[in-house]
Amino acid sequence: MKHIGRFLIFTSIIALVFARSDGSHPLVWDKMQKSTDANGRERFVRVEFAVKNISDRPVAITRIQPSCGCTTVESPMLPWLLRPNEGGVLNVTIDLLGKGGTLEKSLAIESSEATQTLTIKVRVSAADDLARNRERAVAAVDRQAIFQKDCAVCHAAITGKAPVAELFQALCAICHLAEHRASMVPDLAVVGAHRNSTWWKDSIANGRQNTLMPSFDKVKGGPLEEDQIAALASYLTARFKSELSDEVEDLQPPRP
């Protein structure tokens, strides 16, 4: 009986190996790669993947791992069990804040069978010149308009106590490091005058006169609290060089 039991276990293992190594997968997706376009003014793009279990055995999706934090997935609760001939849908959302050009994202789908990879290509076009000129005209009259109505979707999207690096990406990089940066928007990487933490803090809190730079201070209609402004000023001081800065403490990276 022991020999028979061992033989059955052995044959089961062999059958499982062949089932997983014959090049097929019981989970079939409508497409393994999808492409979509965004117009540069959209904050999010959404893609749907449909899947079906074509085998005669149940398959469990145990983990779905996006390639980066800007990609989120909505799915049934994991582990997601798909019975024979059963199907379902994954909804994928990609945050385009501060992004341009062609983006490539992926999802690693781990299951009780083998891992599969779904990929998404997003082509983000630059905002059209007419829209840009219209926004500049509005900002020239009221710099704080950037945090109101439709503009707030991109420029005032930070909520809660976001990490300082996330604040920088969402509120600074979106304009100053953008692929299609407007000519009047300064390149922060270019060494400037005495840009210590006090200078950065004043610029963030009060904006810059005779420019389109608004005040980010919540008291003045911006999205940031006082402690967030201080943290962002320290981050900028450490990241971007100054020609004359003699404040050694201002050049140290911000404490976590």
pLDDT recorded at residue 222: 82
Rounded distance, CA 117 to CA 105, Å? 10
Burial 163-196 (b: 16+ CB within 10 A, else e): ebeebbbbbbbbbbebeeeeeeeeebeeebeebb
pLDDT recorded at residue 126: 67
Q: Which residues contact 128 (CB under 8 A, 6 or more apart)?
A: 40
**pTM, 2 dp:** 0.51
pLDDT recorded at residue 142: 61
88 in the same domain as 139: no
Are 107 and 56 in contact by the 8 Å Cβ rule? The answer is: no
Task: Classify 37 in phi/psi space as left (phi over 0), alpha (psi -120 to 50) or beta.
Answer: beta
82 in the same domain as 111: yes
DSSP at 128: P
pLDDT recorded at residue 211: 78
Domain boundary pick from 102, 124, 146: 124
231 in the same domain as 147: yes
Residue type, 8: L
243 in the same domain as 173: yes
pLDDT recorded at residue 213: 83
> CATH number for the domain including 224?
1.10.760
User: Which domain does 104 fall in, by range?
Assistant: 23-124
In terms of Cα–Cα distance, which of 153, 63, 167 is closest to 116? 63
Q: List per-block mean pLDDT (blocks of 10 residues) for the chain, which spans 256 residues.
A: 47 39 80 90 89 96 91 95 97 83 91 94 73 61 62 54 77 72 72 77 85 83 86 86 50 40
Domain boundary pick from 93, 124, 155: 124
Domain boundary pick from 98, 124, 150: 124
Tokens 């926004």 found at: 135
149 in the same domain as 74: no
pLDDT recorded at residue 183: 67
Rounded distance, CA 96 to CA 124, Å? 8
Q: What strands, in cross-sheet order, belong to the sheet with 80-82? A: 33-38, 116-124, 101-111, 59-66, 80-82
